Amino acid sequence: MTTREIADLVQEMYGYHYSPATLSNITKLVDKDIKALHSRPIKSRYVMLYCDALSGLKDALLEEFPKGRHQVCWLHINRNVMKYIRAKDKLEVGDDLRLIHQAIDLKAALENYDKFIKKWSRRYPKAKQILEKHDNLYTYLTFPKEIQRSLYPNNLIENFNKHIKKRTKVKEQFPNENALDRLVCTISLEYNERFRNRIHKGFGKVQTELREMFSGSDSL
């Protein structure tokens, strides 16, 4: 659509008149923000790296941040395991999986893991394979207990992705890739502004512990 067509559409829908030149200037301002978002610097240090169980993501992240601590998402692991579980066993298998990632410490998690493997591996060898291919199941347990339940799933990322899908679904089609990029980047900027000064559950209580964990450390 041309800026003149957009101006006519805005006036028809909302009763406001904007000249084509004004709309063009607004677009330029948005493009400036989008360019800044795309070119923002990546920090040299991150406390933790998240991703789902998609093959290759972990290696790519650790190649870029070799000292990073990586945690695979337990919710994705659960979903992948449950694909291979018969309906009559799903509830019991799900409960046994939760005993692993909701354990109070690493020792309990490993004990519950061993119990799970002994109990289910012969009946469901695929479940065993899914669990065994990850060496980053328990990274979250190295952090304070107050925030561990926020670390083993990647709910923050999942919620943000759902927010983007919800906003883009309203507009059934985009005239070009730049139009989609503008919308997604605008959503991202709004989301960042909304949550900029918010502290996720538990993190406010353990600020001192986190500073002590990473102050002067090369482990990030």
Helix/strand/coil for 59: helix
Q: Are residues 54 and 75 in the same domain?
A: yes
pLDDT of residue 47: 58
Q: Are residues 55 and 132 in the same domain?
A: yes
For 54-108, the pLDDT digits (tens) are 667 778 877 877 777 888 889 889 999 999 999 999 999 999 999 999 999 999 9
Which of 116, 132, 150 represents a domain boundary (last residue)?
A: 150
Q: Are residues 103 and 190 in the same domain?
A: no
Q: What own/partner pairs with CB < 8 Å and gap ≥ 24 does 206-212 have?
A: 206/143, 206/144, 206/146, 206/147, 209/144, 210/47, 210/143, 210/144
Could you list the residue range(s) of the whole structural domain that residue 193 is in? Answer: 154-197
Instruction: Give one DSSP letter per residue of 54-105, joined into a string.
Output: -TTHHHHHHHHSTT--EEE-HHHHHHHHHTTS-GGGHHHHHHHHHHHHT-SS
Q: Is 34 within the bounds of a domain? A: no
What mean pLDDT, rounded, does the chain reach?
82
Pairing relationship of beta strands 70-72 and 49-51 according to DSSP bridges: parallel
Instruction: Give one DSSP letter per residue of 112-136, joined into a string.
Output: HHHHHHHHHTTT-HHHHHHHHT-S-
Structure tokens at 97: 């999986």
Q: Are residues 164 and 136 in the same domain?
A: no
For 13-45, the pLDDT digits (tens) are 667 677 777 767 777 777 888 888 888 776 655
- Of 159 and 44, the structure prediction assigns the larger pLDDT to 159
Q: Are residues 142 and 55 in the same domain?
A: yes
Please state the domain count of the chain: 2
219 confidence band (pLDDT: 50, 70, 90): very low
* Distance set, CA 112 to CA 65, 104, 107 (Å): 31, 11, 9
C-alpha–C-alpha distance, residues 30 and 183, integer Å: 10
Return the amino acid letter for 142: T
C-alpha–C-alpha distance, residues 111 and 103, integer Å: 9
- Of the given ranges (34-38, 49-53, 130-134), which has the lowest mean pLDDT? 49-53
Q: Are residues 125 and 64 in the same domain?
A: yes
- What global pTM score does this model have? 0.68
Structure tokens at 26: 């607004």
Q: Are residues 146 and 111 in the same domain?
A: yes
Q: Is 92 within the bounds of a domain? A: yes
